[in-house]
Amino acid sequence: MKKTIDPIEANPLSSLDVWEDDVLERYPDPESIATAKKTEEYRNYDSPVRDTVREFYRLNHKYQTYEFVQEKRAEYLQFNKKEMSVWDAFQFLNQLVDDSDPDTDLDQLQHLLQTSEAIRADGHPEWMVLAGLFHDMGKVLCLFDEPQWAVVGDTFPVGCAYSSKIVYPEYFGANPDYSHEVYSTKYGVYSPHTGLRNVTMSWGHDEYVYNMMKDHLPEPALYMLRYHSFYSQHRENAYEHLMDDHDKEMFRWVKLFNPYDLYSKNPNPPDWKALRPYYEDLVAKYLPATLKF
């Protein structure tokens, strides 16, 4: 059964960055805790921007069903849409621009480089630097006309009960899976501690980039890519009942990665010209000459 989605409903955010700015408000940098809002303050904070975020989550929670995810996986995980060199792929990603405020937001490549450079500056393994560089490449889904709620937003398991620890859980009430006989139960289609490799996550840029990179990067890097927006687990620990011991071990890496994604943003654009030789070598070491989308 195909669901029709009103295109006017599809994209409430002025840009994808609005979602990330909102996550940053929810999980402020502990090093600048003076400006931190408590969860309750966060929920009650009214502003026109917050209204667009709320609307974005309303759509995300309503439409991310088990069936929807299966459809998107079948469509995108064939990787038969486009083939590009890594550098052309970054150019392609950079077509995602913020119409409302082109001056204050860094482009996508700049966010990726700030993340990877912060990881490199702290002396982490080079494959983690590479994970930083690629973690949001999946946002190209927007350029394939996917709605914002199927590209960004916190991710969560589908096919089992939605946790109340997911942001704006009340919006799941409009999702048909919410009252489904099996999908509404704690374990749904899964068994206790089945391991996240057996769990289907909501569809978005994380799952897409994980699949793009899965033959090329070491496992901890793949966990970082696949679960970097899974805040209800890596921040709230709401899905331990689906994880096995190996997942728990690997989530140390996911947690290590998250602050670099959230807190590395600063107004100074990285010097791409100076950095390019280093990244060209790094990319050539791990990745094929072209990437399939």
Please report how close the Cβ of residue 144 comes to Fe ion at its closest, in angstroms.
Answer: 17
Contacts of 2 (CB under 8 A, 6+ apart): none
Please report how close the Cβ of residue 221 comes to Fe ion at its closest, in angstroms.
Answer: 14
**Candidate ranges 81-89, 128-136, 192-200, 251-259; the one touching Fe ion (CB under 5 A):** 128-136
Please report how close the Cβ of residue 225 comes to Fe ion at its closest, in angstroms.
Answer: 9
- Length of the chain measured in residues: 293
Size of the site for Fe ion (CB under 5 A): 2
Compare residues 147 and 188 and give the one whose CB is closer to Fe ion.
Answer: 147
207 scored as a contact of Fe ion (CB under 5 A): no
CA torsion, points 274, 118, 152, 173, in degrees to nearest 10?
Answer: -170
Compare residues 160 and 217 and give the one whose CB is closer to Fe ion.
Answer: 217
Compare residues 64 and 160 and give the one whose CB is closer to Fe ion.
Answer: 64
Structure tokens at 47: 């502003």
Compare residues 63 and 257 and give the one whose CB is closer to Fe ion.
Answer: 257
Compare residues 132 and 157 and give the one whose CB is closer to Fe ion.
Answer: 132
Compare residues 68 and 231 and give the one whose CB is closer to Fe ion.
Answer: 231
Which DSSP string corresponds to the chain?
Answer: -PPP--GGGS--SSSTHHHHHHHHHHS--GGGGGGPPPHHHHHH---HHHHHHHHHHHHHHHH--HHHHHHHHHHHTT--S-EEEHHHHHHHHTT---SS-TTTS--HHHHHHHHHHHHHHTT--HHHHHHHHHTTGGGGGGGGT--GGGTSS---BSSSPPPTTSSSGGGGGGSGGGG-TTTTSSSTTS-TT--GGGSPBPSSHHHHHHHHHTTTS-HHHHHHHHHTT-HHHHTT---GGG--HHHHHHHHHHHHHHHHHHH---SS---HHHHHHHHHHHHHHHS-SEEE-
261 scored as a contact of Fe ion (CB under 5 A): yes
**Candidate ranges 41-49, 130-138, 142-150, 158-166; the one touching Fe ion (CB under 5 A):** 130-138
CA distance 172 to 13: 19
Please report how close the Cβ of residue 170 comes to Fe ion at its closest, in angstroms.
Answer: 24
Residue 171 dihedral angles phi and psi, to the nearest 5°: -75, -10
CA distance 255 to 264: 15
Please report how close the Cβ of residue 261 comes to Fe ion at its closest, in angstroms.
Answer: 4
**Candidate ranges 49-57, 75-83, 129-137, 182-190; the one touching Fe ion (CB under 5 A):** 129-137
**Candidate ranges 38-46, 234-242, 256-264, 272-280; the one touching Fe ion (CB under 5 A):** 256-264
Compare residues 175 and 264 and give the one whose CB is closer to Fe ion.
Answer: 264
Compare residues 58 and 265 and give the one whose CB is closer to Fe ion.
Answer: 265
Please report how close the Cβ of residue 4 comes to Fe ion at its closest, in angstroms.
Answer: 28
136 scored as a contact of Fe ion (CB under 5 A): yes
Please report how close the Cβ of residue 194 comes to Fe ion at its closest, in angstroms.
Answer: 25
Please report how close the Cβ of residue 155 comes to Fe ion at its closest, in angstroms.
Answer: 9
Given the rule CB under 5 A, which residues bind Fe ion? 136, 261
